[in-house]
A and B are shown apart, each in its own frame.
Chain A
Amino acid sequence: MKISYKWLKEYVDVDLTPKKLAEKLTMHSFEVEGITYQGEGLDGVVVGEILEIKGHPNADKLSIAKVDVGEENPRQIIFGQMAKMEVGLKVPVALAPTILLGDKKIEKSKLRGEFSEGMLCLDQELGFLKEGISITFFAKNVDNGTLIKKALNLDDVIFEIDILPNRAHDCLSHIGVAREVAVLLNEKLKTKNEKLEIKTSKASELLSVKIENEELCRRYSVASVGGVEIKKSPDWLKSRLESCGVRPINNIVDITNFVMFSFGQPMHAFDADKLQGKILVRNAQKGEKLIALDEKEYELTEEDLVIADEKNPIAIAGVMGGLETAVDENTKNIIFEAANFQGIYVRKTSSRLKLASESSYRFEREIDEELTLEAISKAVEMAKDLAGGKLQGDIIDIYQSPVKKRNIKFNFDRIENLLGMKIEKEKIFSILISLGFEVSEKDKEIEVLVPTFRKDVQKTNDIIEEIGRINGYENIKETPANIQMKSVIQDKTLLMETNIKKSMEGLGFFEVYNYSFIGEREINGSLLKIENHHELQNPLSEEFMYMRTSLLSDLLNNTRDNLKHRESFKLFELGRIYLKDDKEGVDEKKILSGVMVNKNQKKISFYDLKGQLEVVLEKIGIEKLIYQEIENPENFWHKGRSAEILCKKKLIGKIGEIHPIALNNFNLETRVVFFEIYIENLVDLIANTKSYQKINKFPGVELDLSVVFDENVKWGEIKRAINSADNNLIQGVEPFDIYRGRGLGENKKSIAFRVFYQAEDRTLTDEEVKIVQDKIINELEKLGGEVRK
């Protein structure tokens, strides 16, 4: 909310620089996010009168003006086509050399061969907070050369204050903020109508009001003002509104806005002569329509609340008035309305109609029911001063169940128990009283009566917060907590994840983070099914429509992007995927995925990635992996070069090349090897303890064999056959060469491998090794193997 320093000072004496005041508010009340000094950067901007205009000889889109800026000679200034200029107009002129807001330097210069000694300025170039493109013109009687900040009265300071929902009840107004400032500075609030006596009735001859839904409309006050003259507001009022970022319209509308920004009470003015009969506050009928002040038609439902006359709705309660009954230049008699509507209702209607206003913003956040009369009588008073209007009859005020002040009682100890600091009773009392609370004490208890405007204060801790913040959090000393606790055992899965990531890093992988959202193009590109993905109701864009079910598409995008400046790399991500469970719910899984790519490598890097992945898994104690063809593989796998990874019969992941069709979809010409590991499935498999194995001192024997097999015999089968030959002496089998080609015949391969034999209790003899090797050969022959001599 924008708060004007000048306006604020009407309600409270402030003897601080704006910066100091902002600091005080920020440390004790709410955050001042910005301070704007009006007139900043305008020291070299004056009123100038355009004396003549001619085209620029060398540029079609530029013109040259002679401008009287109050100096001896007029200045020559070149300008463009952003705003229409005419001889005789008085406009803001930046006199070169000067510096405008945002360090924009204006200097004497030559533009296509013609001199320019300044700039004709748009509002936006002067830092006026206005939308679009506009220019300020000055009246004939303003002297040329007058500083525009003087001509426009730009000597205010505007605070941008972030009022959060807890203080929106009482501080979305200048008086609200002034009340807070008064507490901080130990000053008195200077509101005039402090002991206002207003005569009210339930009805009058002129006006009669009926509230049909008291739950949604807690109070409704109206005043009839006759004989108003609609005209422009005086400058002081216009500048007040402009400082809050609101466009002045006419005196009556401006009064309603002024009152809102003063008190925080939204108001509305109807043209009394356009109303038919009495005023009703009722639920809308289904399908009922209203054209609001924004000139758009809204269709209402029974859940909406309207203000209506006997025929038609005339306003959407708390949100916006109707166009038909609006005040216009011919209006003579008006009705001011100040009401109190329930927040939830206003919020629902405003969000359903996508129609928000300063009024709905305040009602949604709930405001004090006690505000209406003060606000309406201020409006009546202003209408008399600024429009010559007279109050007709009494103010009508319907207020069935007046709010009661909340009463909160608690033990004094609670204050120290929560803040961790002892505060003197006297200090506590003075803080609460200055904030408008009524305080009494009884034994060890404090009893607090909360003013109606502090709707946020509901419980003990709310009161203690008031004491804490006004006293200052900087006065609370840092004290280590002393809580008796059992020892903390960290989560096994998280520790495992850390170990995995560190191993991946050690092996040369780059860790990436990708978004959880993906688009249809990514899903289709990675040959997955759209219907398996959770869709967002309100995505930011098409690329962010769905929750990912695989990390593949992100990693392929990363791969393609990085291949522009790298030839080979390895990436991994440990993230979540979001699957559908049987009830359309979200089944979140953690997944470790990685890719390996090398533009220059001709050999399949499947085995490189497989080997490195095994190192990572072995580091966390997951060994003895089985690889088998994927059952129902997703379409993105290269079916001849992919595998499921099992450990103790549990599926822990998949590894393989990505199908070139999918790669094409991501504009990748290089083969990519990919893996995914299901983190949750690892948890039960990780080895928690390791036990020492005695180091074998007896020498072992290594013997190599070279055996020819049919192409379709897999190493896994060969290894199993070798191991089945003997349970004790074979300690290891490793292949070291595969040969295909000349001398072997079609579809044959020769695999060379090394077997390591060792006994635990003796040095092996050649004979013993020979016996086992013969058994191995025997087993391999069963697989069709033929030993090469």
Chain B
Amino acid sequence: MKNKINDIKNKAIEEIKKAKTFTEVETLRVKYSGRKSELTNVLRGLKDLSSEEKKEIGELSNMTKQTIDSELAKKELEIKNEELNNIDEKERIDITYPGEKSEKGHLHPLTKVRYDIEEIFKSMGFLVVEDREVEDEFHNFDAMNMPKNHPARDMQDTFWLKNGCVPRTHTSSVQARFMEKNKPPFKIISLGRVYRNENSDATHESNFHQVEGLIAAKSGDVTVANAKSIISEFMKGLFGEETKIRLRPSYFPFVEPGFEFDASCPYCKGEGCRICKKCGWIELGGAGMVNQNVFEKVRFTEDEFEGFAFGFGIERLAMIKYGIDDIRLFHAGDLRFLEQF
């Protein structure tokens, strides 16, 4: 009987080794390990044996069954692994076929540039403020040292509403509104839409956007040297660390001294190219030390404070940053343009 059992074991192990598929393994399981297996058949003769022999044969048959089961399990795993090893080939796909995209939204390029600008100034401790777009004459002009009948008003072609209000010609009006409520020291920027009565072409629009900045503190704490530093930091933040700036004298009624500021051309690094019209510099905006007349309008004591104000067009920055050649694209609502940002 012992021999019979060992024969079964050896035969089983051998056959299991040869098995190639799960079906074969299953057949072998029935043959060697199931209720009707050869082993079970052999064990039917157990009743004729002595109790000692019964014990011995019983142990042997248990061990044999365990061995067969474990061989079956091993074989099964082997077949499974083999199958998984082949899966890479069997399930190969065309990885160049396009993916299933979910809808992709796009922020407007002016919003993106606006966020860039806000980030840089916020990191320098500026507060972002907003105010009215349609202004009264006082806040748009008079408070900015542009009294009625002053030629400076010719510098901005103005729209007027029938009720006498002004769609603001610059974000500078926010300065006056802010200073009516707050005393220096402060650092603010304001971004928003402004209006000029100009026919549109590739570089002009009647609706566009500006950033206005203002720092004010007691006299001596804000200087032209500080102004240069702030503009320079901003330009580096926007166009890269190597950007240089320069100030040129200019005139805006609400500042004195007044400047225009240029940045070295980010495309040619100042060498001269098509973008900067071969001069190496790009005109970006206006700036200056706040005119004391402006402080007087908001009832600050003359010469107690000094301020530095600056402003520039967001469209212009976006056009330079992205190489856009027609300002009218910003308001055209064309998805073929917008999806590029």
Contacts and interface: CB of A to CB of B under 8 A. Distances in A.
B230 interface: yes
A576 B105 contact: no
B247 to A, nearest CB: 4
B165 interface: yes
Contacts of A30: 249-250
Given A347-B151, A511-B106, A536-B160, A419 B207 contact: no
B249 A512 contact: no
A508 B102 contact: yes
A516 B196 CA distance: 12
A469 B258 CA distance: 10
Interface range on chain B (Cβ under 8 Å from partner): 35 or more
Nearest to A419: B224
A120 B150 CA distance: 48
Interface string B164-201: 01010000000000000000011100000101011100
Interface string A341-355: 001100110000000
B129 A491 contact: yes
Contact of A166 (B105, B127, B251): B251
A27 B221 contact: no
B71 interface: no
A544 B195 CA distance: 12
A501 B107 contact: yes
B257 A534 contact: no
A217 interface: no
Contacts of A505: 105-107
Contacts of B130: 491, 494
Contact of A507 (B103, B259, B291): B103
Contacts of B257: 461, 464-465, 468-469
A444 B152 CA distance: 35
A537 B160 contact: yes
B249 A554 contact: no
Contacts, number: 236
A709 interface: no
A27 B248 contact: yes
A1 interface: no
B133 A480 contact: no
A85 to B, nearest CB: 36
B163 A465 contact: no
Contacts of B291: 461
Give the size range of A's interface with the partner: 35 or more
Interface stretch (A94-102, A123-131, A556-564): A556-564
Contacts of B134: 534, 547, 578, 586, 588
A141 interface: no
A478 B206 contact: no
Given A417-B220, A476-B224, A538-B160, A516 B102 contact: no
Contacts of B162: 534-537
B108 A478 contact: no
A441 B117 CA distance: 45
B207 A517 contact: yes
A80 to B, nearest CB: 29
A465 B257 CA distance: 5
Interface of B: 102-108, 110-111, 115, 122, 125-130, 132-134, 149-152, 154-155, 159-163, 165, 167, 185-187, 193, 195, 197-199, 206-207, 215, 217, 219-226, 228-230, 232-233, 246-251, 253, 256-260, 289, 291-292, 303, 306, 330-331, 333-336, 338-339
7 contacts: A29-B249, A165-B151, A365-B151, A419-B224, A476-B228, A481-B229, A557-B333
Given A511-B107, A513-B333, A557-B333, 15 more contacts: A30-B249, A30-B250, A343-B149, A365-B151, A421-B225, A479-B228, A506-B105, A508-B102, A508-B104, A513-B331, A515-B207, A535-B162, A536-B162, A566-B335, A588-B132
